[in-house]
């Protein structure tokens, strides 16, 4: 592993962008620019085709934020050209649009006050990110795909490996920040057909490492294949309330949907989150701790500063069952008169910044999975994350899970139900947490939307977790 290099493209733009901000500072009370250079490759191999292409999330561009007469506006672009011409264009376009929208009163927002800070951050990356051995990587993926396809009934096995290098720079009157880091991600997806019924399963891993991550996946096929086969023809679960044990991935989905979205503080500004009225209250069992932060773990949603130039933090959301903090972007923090937590994130330089989760997870306790199963009279071990949705206004939660494995009298019976809709009231679900495992598993291959758009990479997880909830 080596220290990530800073983007030559960004460094090459720095002087022009400083000049741009200096010009805009004359006309606006605040001006900043975020510049992004995200590069990477996606390698895909299945039993029919192979591809090597630019990573879907790759981007190179800029977003300027300005403040005038009590309101913020932004201009996104991907070509600088002459700085004075660009400054004129930004100023004229944004002021024209302000005039067109003049009938709407502005949401009261104080001017951002930024402490002076100049810093350069570099994460660790594998050397191969800069000079990848494509042939070697494709060879590893082919062997992995072939292994998956060798199982009885598997129609196709698609394996994908992503290498992503993220470089961002933030410049304002007081801030001059630049960062570089990268991560890799491997995923395996296979379709199995038996008795004319089709089922699929997937697994993967991600982290701040290189293509070694591919090698670790060979041994995971057996269990994934067994799960897929067990789901073929499996019945639906009888609707009802049950004791459940969540795998770390399922626990992560609950963390994300329960008090992840529920404490995004831009929702506090809109009065869309009930958590605003319950800060400091006990809403979970005393063994429950929950965190969010780009700092503290090395996962896909880790970074050094966010898309508004706020340094990353680790925020404890639940401490010993008490809701102690939300997470916040810079503008919402200014409106709520609190400090931002480094959670201002954009889907891309072309989109608005919102309060977004980063790496969200439950803390550990001392129970083993075996102890949890033994402690279950009748219930299920739930796994296979598909999707989730929250209702921060009422603490409703919906999680779509692939399967529930039956537990009777403290023993897994081998019977599987699919698919599973987990629903409930967040404080009930969290208050019912009775056991937590010893090791945190984080999963970061997913994207999280705000509503049904604004997709950003997040990771979530936790230890194995035992609670009680409604399944259907």
Residues 169-198 that bind other proteins (CB under 8 A): 191, 193, 196, 198
Cβ-in-10-Å burial (0-12, 13-18, 19+) of 359 comes to: buried
Q: Is 376 in the site for other proteins (CB under 8 A)?
A: no
Which of 84, 106, 216, 374 is in the footprint of other proteins by CB under 8 A? 106
d(CA 269, CA 271) in angstroms, rounded, equals 6
CA nearest neighbour of 462 among 442, 434, 444: 442
Contact residues for 232 (Cβ-Cβ < 8 A; gap 6+) = 192, 194, 195, 197, 199
Least distance between other proteins and beta carbon 272 (Å)? 6
Tokens of 438: 């010893």
> Which residue in the block uniquely carries the two structure tokens 């790496």?
359
Provide the token pair at 211.
Answer: 């293509």
* Of positions 18, 142, 156, 412, contacts other proteins by CB under 8 A: 156
- Which of 142, 391, 410, 412 lies at the binding interface for other proteins (CB under 8 A)? 391
58 or 432: CB nearest other proteins: 58
Q: How far is the CB of 180 from other proteins (least distance, A)?
A: 18
Q: How many residues bind other proteins (CB under 8 A)?
A: 82
SS3 assignment, position 289: coil
Considering only residues 302-341, where is the footprint of other proteins by CB under 8 A?
331
Cβ distance to other proteins smaller for residue 297 or 335: 335
Question: Mask: binding to other proteins, 44-83, rule CB under 8 A, as x and -?
Answer: --x-xxxxxxx---x-xx---------xxxxxxxxxxx--
Contact positions with other proteins (CB under 8 A) in 5-44: 41
Give yes or no for a contact between 281 and 323, defined as CB atoms under 8 angstroms apart.
yes
Phi, then psi, of 214 in degrees rounded to 5: -65, -40
Q: State the Cα–Cα distance between residues 275 and 161, nearest whole angstrom.
A: 39
For residues 147 and 367, which CB has a smaller minimum distance to other proteins in the complex?
A: 147
CB nearer to other proteins: give 97 or 286: 97
Name which of 315, 313, 308 is nearest 345 in CA terms: 308
Pick the closest to residue 349 from 307, 310, 295 (CA basis): 307
- Name which of residues 112 to 141 contact other proteins (CB under 8 A): 134-135, 138
Residues in 250-289 at the binding interface with other proteins, rule: CB under 8 A: 269-272
Told to check if 409 binds other proteins by CB under 8 A, we report no
Q: Are strands 175-194 and 117-122 parallel, antiparallel or unpaired?
A: parallel
- Is residue 414 involved in binding other proteins (CB under 8 A)? no
């Amino acid at each position: 592993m080596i220290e990530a290099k800073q983007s030559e493209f960004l460094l090459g733009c720095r002087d022009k962008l400083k000049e741009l901000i200096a010009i805009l500072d004359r006309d606006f009370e605040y001006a900043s620019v975020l510049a992004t250079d995200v590069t990477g490759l996606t390698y895909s191999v299945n039993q029919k085709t192979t591809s090597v292409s630019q990573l879907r999330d790759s981007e190179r561009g800029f977003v300027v934020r300005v403040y005038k007469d009590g309101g913020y506006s932004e201009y996104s672009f991907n070509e600088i050209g002459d700085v004075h011409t660009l400054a004129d264009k930004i100023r004229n376009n944004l002021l024209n649009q302000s005039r067109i929208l003049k009938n709407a009163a502005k949401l009261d927002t104080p001017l951002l006050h930024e402490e002076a800070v100049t810093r350069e951050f570099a994460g660790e990356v594998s050397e191969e990110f800069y000079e990848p051995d494509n042939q070697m990587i494709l060879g590893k993926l082919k062997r992995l795909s072939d292994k998956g396809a060798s199982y009885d009934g598997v129609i196709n096995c698609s394996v994908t490996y992503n290498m992503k290098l993220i470089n961002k720079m933030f410049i304002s009157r007081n801030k001059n920040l630049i960062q570089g880091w990268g991560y890799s991600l491997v995923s395996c997806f296979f379709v199995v057909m038996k008795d004319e019924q089709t089922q699929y399963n997937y697994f993967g891993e991600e982290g701040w490492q290189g293509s070694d991550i591919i090698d670790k996946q060979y041994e995971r096929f057996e269990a994934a294949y067994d799960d897929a086969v067990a789901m073929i023809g499996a019945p639906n679960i009888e609707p009802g309330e049950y004791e459940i044990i969540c795998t770390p991935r399922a626990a992560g989905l609950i963390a994300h949907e329960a008090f992840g979205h529920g404490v995004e503080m831009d929702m506090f500004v809109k009065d869309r989150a009930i958590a605003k009225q319950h800060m400091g209250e006990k809403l979970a069992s005393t063994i429950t701790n929950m965190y969010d932060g780009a700092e503290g773990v090395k996962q896909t949603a880790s970074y050094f500063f966010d898309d508004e130039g706020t340094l990353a933090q680790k925020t404890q959301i639940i401490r010993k069952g008490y809701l102690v903090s939300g997470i916040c972007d810079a503008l919402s923090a200014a409106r709520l008169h609190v400090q931002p937590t480094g959670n201002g994130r954009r889907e891309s330089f072309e989109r608005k910044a919102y309060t977004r989760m980063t790496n969200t997870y439950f803390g550990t306790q001392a129970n083993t999975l075996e102890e949890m199963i033994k402690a279950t009279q009748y219930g299920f071990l739930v796994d296979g994350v598909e999707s989730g949705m929250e209702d921060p206004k009422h603490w409703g939660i919906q999680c779509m899970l692939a399967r529930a494995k039956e537990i009777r009298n403290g023993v897994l019976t081998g019977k599987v139900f699919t698919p599973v809709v987990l629903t409930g009231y967040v404080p009930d679900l969290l208050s019912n947490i009775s056991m937590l495992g010893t090791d945190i598993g984080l999963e970061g291959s997913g994207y999280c939307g705000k509503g049904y758009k604004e997709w950003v990479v997040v990771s979530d997880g936790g230890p194995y977790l035992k609670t009680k909830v409604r399944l259907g």
